[in-house]
Amino acid sequence: EPEVTQTPSHQVTQMGQEVILRCVPISNHLYFYWYRQILGQKVEFLVSFYNNEISEKSEIFDDQFSVERPDGSNFTLKIRSTKLEDSAMYFCASSELFNQPQHFGDGTRLSIL
């Protein structure tokens, strides 16, 4: 069964550095999402992306964050000037159509030191 893949599985970065988290959504899916889960807390929505543009973003997704679909297969989340509180699991998800099941990757554990 097709799946969403995320790399790396674990990223350790010094505070203030930039990180790029990578995702390969399921190939025929059109809607892409990023979520994060701080340890012990709820999964939180960050951003949704459709037709090469952001369709929705949460209050968390400020100027520190950006997303990009640089080619036909990858979907990236860039976090600039990382802070300690950015430490979390970051999940990518995709769905074939709006209002269809979202399929999640296994996540990238981001640790900011």
Could you tell me the smallest distance in angstroms from the CB atom of residue 16 to another protein?
27
Q: CA dihedral defined by 5, 8, 10, 11, rounded to 10 degrees?
A: -140
Site string for another protein, 77-96 (x = CB under 8 A): --------------x-x---
In the set 11, 13, 24, 45, which binds another protein (CB under 8 A)?
Answer: 45
* List of residues 6+ apart from 95 with CB closer than 8 A: 29, 30, 31, 33, 101, 102, 103
Residue 2 interacts with another protein (CB under 8 A)? no
Name the site residues for another protein (rule: CB under 8 A): 4, 6, 33, 35, 41-45, 48, 55-56, 58, 91, 93, 98-107
